[in-house]
Structure 1
Amino acid sequence: MINLQKKSPGNLKKQAGATLLGMLFVGAMLFFVAVIAMKIFPAYQEYFSVKTVIRAMNKESLNDMSKKEIQDSFNKRADTSYVTVVHGSDLIIGKNSAGETTVSAQYQVVTPLFGNISVMMDFDASPDGK
């Protein structure tokens, strides 16, 4: 026997899925995160360049060099690495536990995001890998 009864609307399963409003919200959130990432990426890229220059300088013998020579050496390396945020005069030149001369830099970068909102990032480029 064939059942020819019509199904009532109450028996139909409710549809599930993303609504247009939900998709727009997710898209807006992804766009917001992407814009922030694109704005702060150059600061991190420059930080890694500064860290590379400082590591290279600390591998060579800095004990024979004066403070001015160390600063000039950093400025030359920084020019070829497109570092603009740190200069030789900003370097922290000191001695490690073994008595060797080391170079490091601590600095801040303020990047405007949109309107009157900006983000401040603290960087510490030291040779010990931290």
Structure 2
Amino acid sequence: MANFPSRQRGLTVTGFLFVLFLIGFFSLLVLKIGPVYLEHYKVASSLESLKKDNDIASKSREEILSLLQKRWEINMVERVTAKDVKITKQGAYLKIQITYDVAEHLFGNVDALLHFNDLLEVGSN
């Protein structure tokens, strides 16, 4: 039997270009946004590591910020500063909240805005 072109199936040039565009777009997203999420993981893990410190609730705001900034320096966290950290102390209760936004340029005039909000509560209120 002869294979006629009308009976053949496959990907057209337009379809191939569309698939190539989708692969390129999602690869760009992963390459641009992936490092931001990796850095957020480092921020969250440094905040969580404060929970292991038994006397964290008795430390002052400056001491807590110093501990966080040392961890961020070791982990090369660059997008979070002390201004993004809110510390609330009431007796034996300690609440540390880190809230920050990251605007990552994708292409042209398109940016991705990522909002992160991490919270650590230690002690009883």
Q: Same fold (TM over 0.5)?
A: yes
In structure 1, list runs of 5 or more residues that go unmatched.
1-6
Higher strand share: 2
Percent identity over the alignment? Answer: 27
Q: Does 1:90 align with 2:84?
A: yes
8 Å contact from structure 2 (residues 58, 92) kept in 1: no
TM-score (norm 1): 0.79
TM-score normalised over the length of structure 2: 0.82
Corresponding residue SS for 1:127: strand
Matched, 1:120 2:110: no
Based on CA coordinates, which of the two structures has the bigger radius of gyration?
Answer: 1
Quickly say closer, same or farther: Cα 1:22–1:13, change in 2 above 3 A.
closer
1:28 aligns with 2:27: no
Structure 2 gap ranges (5+): none
Does residue 1:62 correspond to 2:56, yes or no?
yes
Q: Contact between 1:63 and 1:100, CA under 8 Å: does it hold in 2?
A: yes
Aligned match of 1:110: 103
Give RMSD over aligned pairs.
2.4
Counterpart Cα distance in 2 of 1:127 and 1:69: 16
Partner of 2:42: 49
